[in-house]
């Protein structure tokens, strides 16, 4: 249940017997949140620095948050995590290539060769992690080919954008225009939150923030929306400039964007404040299990599923 649907800071009108335990707790949390915003940075003390991932983990399941961020229980890697990381590395290095070696005669061909070489390089660098997954030969080849296809699809869309810019810029100007600032860490002492932004584009004083995803679906979920909102808020606090757009580059499908408005920034700010209130306690009982399809599914289960079952 989203808190903003139940109460607001300025107008709380709830009749007896109509609110759940979560809503009742939310009233107290929002009151505490208003106290946080009135403090100066030097007055703020956070038990731990949060991130978009930790906040979304808590919202998914408080008990999962407890196991992962408080008890720091070990988690297993997966093919999706490994290839997500290596794909980020491929794209980051792609934008660092020496643009002087490409020309209008060879860029289409040469960029494909370059990104193919980068993919093979980073796949090989991830071999130890890949081996630890104990994939069958069939699965190994499937994920190798699927990841390579995904990166090639991304490049096709990039070349389309490059061709469009070539109508008014030289090749090197166009490539520079489409080159983002990559993998930047942002943090806020005021909010006690930090995060790594995959790509930041600046053009005509407009700022656009993008996060890369290798997921099959191309929908900006509530989880992604909050992540992007936090990135926009962190950028605004550091630079005094509000990004115009935030979005996801779904490598299989292309880019999807949200406009950055006050509602998105308020949502991000509220969730950043509430996570500190909700995670003050070290008592596991204050972190209830949220049973859902994310506990166990046909092809896998939560990293802490067995621990959760044993604790019942």
List, for residues 162-181, the tens digit of each pLDDT value. 999 999 999 999 999 999 99
SS (H, E, C) 122-153: HHHHCHHHHHHCCCCHHHHHHHHHHHHHHHHH
Q: What does the block give as tokens for 295?
A: 């506990």
Angle made by CA atoms 199, 201, 203, in degrees to the nearest 5: 180
The chain-wide mean pLDDT, for the chain, equals 87
Could you identify the residue written with the tokens 């980020």? 88
Q: Quick one: average pLDDT of 24-30? A: 45
Q: How confident is the model at residue 217 (pLDDT cuts 50, 70, 90)?
A: confident
Q: How many whole angstroms separate alpha carbon 246 and alpha carbon 230?
A: 10
Q: How many whole angstroms separate alpha carbon 36 and alpha carbon 270?
A: 10
Q: How confident is the model at residue 16 (pLDDT cuts 50, 70, 90)?
A: very low
Please give the helix or strand (H or E) that residue 291 lies within, else none.
none
Can you give the pTM of this predicted structure? 0.83
Q: How many whole angstroms separate alpha carbon 31 and alpha carbon 247?
A: 32
User: Is residue 152 over pLDDT 50?
Assistant: yes
- pLDDT tens digits for range 242-298: 999 999 999 989 999 999 999 999 999 999 999 999 999 999 999 999 999 999 988
């Amino acid at each position: 249940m989203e808190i903003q649907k139940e109460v607001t800071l300025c107008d709380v009108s709830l009749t007896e017997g109509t609110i759940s335990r979560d809503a009742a707790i939310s009233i107290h949390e929002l009151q505490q949140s208003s106290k946080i915003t009135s403090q100066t940075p030097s007055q703020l003390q956070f038990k731990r620095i949060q991130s978009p991932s930790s906040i979304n983990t808590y919202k998914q399941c408080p008990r999962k948050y407890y196991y992962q961020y408080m008890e720091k229980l070990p988690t297993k890697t997966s093919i999706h995590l490994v290839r997500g990381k290596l794909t980020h590395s491929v794209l980051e290095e792609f934008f660092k290539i020496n643009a002087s070696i490409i020309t209008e005669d060879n860029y289409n061909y040469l960029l494909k060769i370059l990104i193919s070489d980068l993919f093979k390089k980073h796949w090989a660098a991830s071999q130890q992690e890949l081996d630890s997954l104990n994939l069958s030969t069939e699965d190994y080849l499937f994920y190798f080919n699927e990841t390579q296809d995904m990166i090639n699809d991304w490049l096709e869309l990039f070349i389309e954008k490059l061709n469009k810019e070539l109508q008014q810029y030289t090749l090197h100007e166009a490539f520079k225009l489409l080159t983002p600032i990559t993998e930047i860490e942002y943090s806020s002492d005021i909010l006690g939150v930090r995060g790594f932004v995959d790509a930041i584009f600046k053009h005509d004083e407009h700022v656009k923030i993008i996060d890369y995803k290798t997921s099959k679906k191309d929908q900006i979920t509530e989880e992604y929306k909050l992540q992007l909102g936090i990135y926009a808020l962190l950028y605004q606090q550091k630079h005094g400039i509000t990004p115009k757009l935030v979005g996801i580059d779904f490598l299989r499908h292309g880019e999807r964007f949200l406009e950055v408005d006050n509602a998105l920034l308020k949502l991000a700010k509220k969730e950043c404040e509430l996570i500190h209130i909700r995670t003050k306690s070290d008592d596991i009982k204050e972190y209830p299990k949220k049973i859902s399809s994310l506990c166990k599914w046909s092809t896998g289960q939560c990293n802490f599923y067995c621990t959760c079952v044993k604790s019942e």
